[in-house]
Structure formats: C-alpha cells, structure tokens
Structure 1
Amino acid sequence: MTETAEEMKARKDRERDELYALDISGVAWHCAPGAEEHEERVEIAHLPDGAVAMRSSLEPETVLRYTAAEWHAFVLGARDGEFDLTPTERNGGLIAIEEAEEERKAASE
C-alpha cells in the first residue's frame, strides 16, 4: 500500500516528535579526526534506530536530530558533491552559473 502525501507528512511528524523526545544527555559526541578541542567543529552522536544528532561545538545546546532515512540521504548527497562549497557540474553549480550568465546577456540585449 502506498502512503498518501497526508499520511507521509503525519508519519514524518510522528518520527520527528519521537526523535526530539529522546533523552540524549548521555550520548557520546564524535567529530572528524584531527579536529582540535578549541576549534569550531561539527559533532555527531548516534541515536537509536540509525538516527543521528548533530551540533556545533560552539553551540552545544543547539542540537539537530535526523532520522536514519534523513541522515542516509544527507550522507549520499554529501558524497555526491551536492553540498560542495565550490560550484561544480556535479552539485549543480555550473548550471546555475551558466543560467545567470544567460540572464545577464538577455538583459543587456
């Protein structure tokens, strides 16, 4: 049986509410190897059922939580270059650059 959009939204809302209701006061936070204690860094903690919590070392009280499916999609996107800082063809940056150039040309004509 396929979920309707309304059912999917209700399920995702339920999952989010359950995830944020978890007590994570005792979780172990991890950061990238080689990060210095005094440097700003992203830290993650593994939660039940493959979920992940993420925070900045500079604002440890602000914690984002992701379901296993959300984290999986993020990691795959990061591996594929979707979040690269430098525009490339892989992350859609070059297309955006080319479109902007075409718009500038059209506006000047």
Structure 2
Amino acid sequence: MGILSSLFGNKKEKIKDFQSRDAIIIDVRTTSEYEQSAIPGSKNMPLQTLNANIENIKKLNKPVITCCASGVRSATAASLLKSHGVEALNGGGFMSLYKKLEL
C-alpha cells in the first residue's frame, strides 16, 4: 500500500462501497463537455448549477460520486455537497473514475 493510500484510504475501495449503496454519479463539467463523452448513467450538473440543486440531491438520500475532467471541479463539488450534509466522494477525472467503476 502506498503512502497516499495509507493516509487517505484506497479510492477504488471507497468507490466500490459507494456503488454498493446505489450512489449517484454527478459529472460537474459543462454541458458541452459532458455531451462529448460521459460515464453511462451519470447525471450532468455543471458546477455553477450545483448549489441550486443541493436540496434535490439531498432528497434522493443516496451517496454521491462527483467527477469532472481532471478532478479539480469535482473536488469543489464534493466539498460543497459534504458541507450541506450529503455523503460525497470526489471521483476525480471522469476517465479515471470510469476505469475504477464496476459497470
């Protein structure tokens, strides 16, 4: 196990756990980015619109995995969701996340 894994845990294991609990994948890239390529079944919610959708996300009562192009916007999104009481995980870049998912 690498030093980062020992400090932060294994992201792939966390993703598996979230998936086993019927997590929602929210892609916070722009609509045009999302339309070019996306994880099947993910929901597009550009970062700029996330705050306006938090109450609807909370009503779903499911964990959330966020993703974007590189992991920067999704980190912001996961942090915002957590600050509002949503169980959220930054999945990072959508291509990297896709490889870790069990679809």
Question: Larger C-alpha radius of gyration, 1 or 2?
Answer: 1
Return the TM-score normalized by structure 1. Answer: 0.26
Return the TM-score normalized by structure 2. Answer: 0.26
Identify the structure with bigger relative contact order (alpha carbons < 8 Å, sequence gap 6+): 2
User: Which structure: greater helix fraction?
Assistant: 2
